[in-house]
Amino acid sequence: MTLTSEIQENTTETPLLPHPDSQQTAFFFDVDGTLAEIRDEPDAVTIPPEVRQHLQTLFAASSGALALISGRPVEQLDQLVAPLILPAAGVHGAEMRDGAGEFHRVTLPAQMAKDVEQTLEAGMSALPGTLLEIKGMAFALHYRQAMQHQQHVLELAESVVATYPELVLQPGKCVIEIKPRGKDKGVAIYDFMQQPPFAGRLPVFVGDDLTDEKGFEVVNAMKGISVKVGEGSSLAQYRVKHVSDVHQWIKRLQRHESISHSSHIPKESNL
Ligand SMILES: O=P(O)(O)OC[C@H]1O[C@H](O[C@H]2O[C@H](CO)[C@@H](O)[C@H](O)[C@H]2O)[C@H](O)[C@@H](O)[C@@H]1O
């Protein structure tokens, strides 16, 4: 396996993103690299308060049809958007808080999870500067601060998935993730689209990384709107350059909703 993307370019640079009607739209947002700037350390990431405020307005305007679709665990997502509690797919869809607030989680057999954890801890501790994130049923092997170990990290992850066919690799930005087979962001968005309040709406998904391509694929198949943030080949129909462009778009969307549907929007916010 190589880390180069084989995704076919499908995206045109589009300065003006569409302005869909929130009552007809299901909004899906990736987090790292889309709502939050990439940082050296996963723990250093934040979503600005005004963006959380705008998400709250859009969530209300869409009658709750707004979800986070992330590689992070749902618990971390809740901290990032606090005090909002949003529908969310975490760990690339291995966790899900659905539209009704019900929580679903894939688990690995306990012994297998322990064995994988021990193998990865031993392997990563031999690669100074790398960081192992343990998410229960998934693992993120970070090398952002130790680029010289990229190939070693990949080989370590490949050795684990070769032993456990229940697990697959998910490359990302300076990270190789190991996650349960059969779960990805496309499946997560598809599942949300089968249930209220998402069902019957036009899906919109904004993301920046390889893991988001599965989401773009599903959204494109549903004739929805897919938006890639940053450079790189993508299946997305639209492209913006920066996280700040996403923030501006959300601001425009919610401002329109505040004016058109002011009676539905909370007047006060705790953000
Ligand atoms: O699906 P996402 O919401 O984009 O989450 C993907 C992974 O994001 C985090 O790692 C990435 O962001 C870090 C902070 O900016 C950065 O330091 C790291 O290099 C990136 O890979 C997070 O730590 C992972 O758990 C997520 O799966």
Asked which of 122, 154, 180 is the last residue of a domain, the reply is: 180
The answer as to whether 15 is a domain residue is no
Task: Looking at the structure, tell me whether residues 137 and 149 fall in a common domain.
Answer: yes
The answer as to whether 5 is a domain residue is no
- Residue 174 structural domain: 110-180
Task: Looking at the structure, tell me whether residues 160 and 93 fall in a common domain.
Answer: no
Give every residue of the chain whose pLDDT is below 50, as ranges.
1-8, 12-14, 262-271
The span from the CA of 137 to the CA of 144, in Å, is 22
Quote the ligand 1 centre to 220 CA distance (angstroms): 24
Q: Which of 30, 32, 184, 212 is catalytic?
A: 30
Question: Which residues lie closer than 8 Å to 89 by C-beta, 6 or more apart?
Answer: 67, 68, 69, 70, 95, 96, 185, 188, 189, 191, 192
The answer as to whether 252 is a domain residue is yes
Task: Looking at the structure, tell me whether residues 83 and 208 fall in a common domain.
Answer: yes
Note the pLDDT of residue 260.
Answer: 56
The pTM score is: 0.91
Task: Looking at the structure, tell me whether residues 219 and 158 fall in a common domain.
Answer: no
Query: Do 99 and 66 form a contact (C-beta atoms < 8 A)?
Result: no
Task: Looking at the structure, tell me whether residues 163 and 188 fall in a common domain.
Answer: no
Q: Ligand 1: which of 40, 169, 173 to mutate, most ligand atoms within 8 Å of CB?
A: 173
The model's pLDDT over 183-194, given as tens digits with 9 standing for 90+, comes to 999 999 999 999
Look up the CATH number of the domain holding residue 194: 3.40.50.1000
Shortest-distance atom of ligand 1 to CA 135: 25
Query: Do 34 and 249 form a contact (C-beta atoms < 8 A)?
Result: no
Shortest-distance atom of ligand 1 to CA 32: 4
The span from the CA of 256 to the CA of 254, in Å, is 5
Give the mean pLDDT of the chain.
Answer: 91
Task: Looking at the structure, tell me whether residues 68 and 199 fall in a common domain.
Answer: yes
Task: Looking at the structure, tell me whether residues 56 and 169 fall in a common domain.
Answer: no
**Where are the strands (E) in the chain, listed by range?**
12-13, 25-29, 66-69, 88-90, 95-97, 103-105, 131-134, 139-142, 167-172, 175-180, 202-207, 225-229, 238-240
The answer as to whether 17 is a domain residue is no
Ligand 1 atom 27: residue of nearest CA: 71
The answer as to whether 9 is a domain residue is no
Task: Looking at the structure, tell me whether residues 221 and 234 fall in a common domain.
Answer: yes
Look up the CATH number of the domain holding residue 166: 3.30.70.1020
The span from the CA of 30 to the CA of 37, in Å, is 12
CA 155 and chain centroid, separation: 25
- Give the chain's domain count: 2
Q: Is 174 in the pocket of ligand 1 (CB under 6 A)?
A: yes
- Of 187, 180, 252, which is closest to residue 219 (Cα–Cα)? 187
Q: Is 30 a catalytic residue?
A: yes
HSE, side-chain direction, 13 A CA sphere, residue 141: 31
Task: Looking at the structure, tell me whether residues 176 and 43 fall in a common domain.
Answer: no
Asked which of 151, 180, 209 is the last residue of a domain, the reply is: 180
The answer as to whether 271 is a domain residue is no
CA separation, residue 188 to residues 97, 195, 204 (Å): 10, 11, 13
The answer as to whether 6 is a domain residue is no
Task: Looking at the structure, tell me whether residues 91 and 40 fall in a common domain.
Answer: yes
Task: Looking at the structure, tell me whether residues 162 and 187 fall in a common domain.
Answer: no
Query: Do 91 and 184 form a contact (C-beta atoms < 8 A)?
Result: no
Q: Which two tokens stand for residue 33?
A: 């690299």
Quote the ligand 1 centre to 32 CA distance (angstroms): 5
Asked which of 180, 201, 232 is the last residue of a domain, the reply is: 180
Task: Looking at the structure, tell me whether residues 123 and 149 fall in a common domain.
Answer: yes
Helix spans in 14-166 (H): 49-61, 74-81, 110-125, 150-163
- Of 192, 213, 210, which is closest to residue 202 (Cα–Cα)? 192
Note the pLDDT of residue 17.
Answer: 87
The span from the CA of 164 to the CA of 257, in Å, is 48
Which residues face 140 on adjacent strands?
133, 177
- Tell me if residue 122 falls in helix, strand or coil: helix
Shortest-distance atom of ligand 1 to CA 91: 27
The answer as to whether 141 is a domain residue is yes
